[in-house]
Structure 1
Amino acid sequence: MNPSFTLPTESALNNHWKTQESSPFAYPEVGASAQEFPHGYDHDRASTLLGFGDPVFEAAARALRQWAMFPPDWTQIYPHDAPIAAGKEVLVLFRLFGLWWWRNSSRIVYLIDEPARFGFAYGTLPAHIEKGEEIFMVELRDDGSVWYSIQAFSRPNRWYVWLGYPFARAFQRKFRRDSLAAMEGKVKSETLKVKDHSSFVIRPY
């Protein structure tokens, strides 16, 4: 998890990723994001309207499967094509101030795969600067609107994160803003590829 000025090599990332398979979660309330968020953590929620209709929902679900909600200019996912499945480990790389790359380890806790909802929650492992759980989800509501939302509970997992707590919280807010924007851009670009706009049909309810 030590920061580096350059993006870690594929070999270094792969070695780190493989070591995470036997790691426990870094917090005891595994799966709590599916219910009431636990006390003792910061609680965060954000959402954005992506559009209307089945094609928008389908594009949004594909975007989540491709990890498109992570801002590409300062975050990366390893493995790059990590499958969205419970029990799978993933490394999330963040670049701070355009200088340092930080590796953070997480594991997918559960999957949401329903006709009108798709998403997943992942939880932090010890090699992560935070403790907690985060949900990424897209939802097709009764009025035909499609929403992307992020929900999380977290607290620092390192002394230096506690020391820089205001900055850490500002960094989390930046991630949520950029994630919403990344999903908006990705879904818009995907749905614009559909030439026959009559295919944008709102489900009757």
Structure 2
Amino acid sequence: MNNPQLRRPSDESLQRFLDAQRGLVFTYESVGGTAPRGELPAGYAVDRLSVELGRGGELFEAARRGIEAWTQFDLGWCEAWPRESPIRSGEVVAVVARSLGLWWTNATRIAYVVDEGGEETLSSDLPLRSGIPPLAPPFEGEGSRARFGFAYGTLPGHVEMGEELFLVEWDRVTDAVNYSILAFSRPRHPLARIGRPLVRRLQRRFREDSAAAMLRYVKNAAQSTKRG
């Protein structure tokens, strides 16, 4: 589904698309490059965003639930499908977005998961590009911080190639809870190369809208707690 469509793809066609992508390899070599002990590759655009969501352990747990529910994709014009996909290494997820009146569908796979100190590593049985060794744990445990998130990487059914990390982090010293995105990407499909300025604008819009969605989620969660 690298070619745009006039209508949103049906759930049935999205499932067929993901089934066809499931056994394919990542389209980039620096798998895990967004992890703290990873290395961002040369030749890619690198994007970062960080926003404070609030303070305290309860808010961190709410932010964690938001990530687990794919709230950062609850944007109206962009969604993760299926929405109930579990956050676990190897899970294949479609990113469905609408731009310029057309629907675009891109395939991704969760490369690694971070869970309050990084006990989970990149799965060694994932179909990687040849020559890529299994990764060490992407995060080391730190008693002063709690973290949760994941990074996904692009599959052949994606117009770009690269990796993106979504992370919520609670600093127990300052009590601040932050949501951050770290990504590296470059065009793979001819349309992505031709329309590079538009793609870059959409990537920036996604980061900003994603942060706004997370802020709304934790705000609503806090209000629900107060009412309860």
1:182 to 2:213 alignment: yes
1:32 to 2:62 alignment: no
Written as runs of structure 1 = structure 2, the 5 A alignment for 1:99-114 is 99-114=101-116
Task: Tell me the TM-score normalised to structure 1 length.
Answer: 0.92
1:121 to 2:151 alignment: yes
2:17 matched residue in structure 1:
16
User: C-alpha separation between the residues in 2 aligned to 1:147 and 1:134?
Assistant: 16
- The one of 174, 198, 201 equivalent to 1:167 is 198
User: C-alpha separation between the residues in 1 aligned to 2:83 and 2:48?
Assistant: 26
CA shift, 1:6, in A, is: 1.3
CA shift, 1:75, in A, is: 1.1
CA shift, 1:196, in A, is: 7.6
2:185 matched residue in structure 1:
154
1:1-60 deviation line (CA, Å, top 9, x unaligned) = 221111111111111111111111011111111122111100100011100001110000
1:74 to 2:85 alignment: no
1:191 to 2:218 alignment: no
Aligned residue-pair number: 196
SS in 2 for 1:76: strand
User: C-alpha separation between the residues in 2 aligned to 1:71 and 1:174?
Assistant: 13
Q: Which moved more, 1:180-189 or 1:1-10?
A: 1-10
User: C-alpha separation between the residues in 2 aligned to 1:16 and 1:109?
Assistant: 19
Q: Which amino acid aligns with 1:173?
A: R
User: C-alpha separation between the residues in 2 aligned to 1:72 and 1:159?
Assistant: 26
Task: Tell me the TM-score normalised to structure 2 length.
Answer: 0.83
2:141 matched residue in structure 1:
none
1:134-154 deviation line (CA, Å, top 9, x unaligned) = 000000012101000000000
User: C-alpha separation between the residues in 1 aligned to 2:227 and 2:203?
Assistant: 39
Q: Which amino acid aligns with 2:114?
A: I
User: C-alpha separation between the residues in 1 aligned to 2:170 and 2:204?
Assistant: 25
- The one of 50, 54, 78 equivalent to 2:53 is 50
SS in 2 for 1:177: helix
Identical aligned residues as a percent: 44
The answer to whether the 8 Å contact 2:21/2:156 transfers is no
User: C-alpha separation between the residues in 2 aligned to 1:13 and 1:159?
Assistant: 22
User: C-alpha separation between the residues in 1 aligned to 2:48 and 2:200?
Assistant: 13
2:88 matched residue in structure 1:
85
Structure 1: state its 5+ residue gaps. Answer: 198-205
CA shift, 1:71, in A, is: 3.6
1:79-125 deviation line (CA, Å, top 9, x unaligned) = 1200100011000001103x211110000000000161000000000
Which 4+ runs in 1 deviate beyond 6 A? none
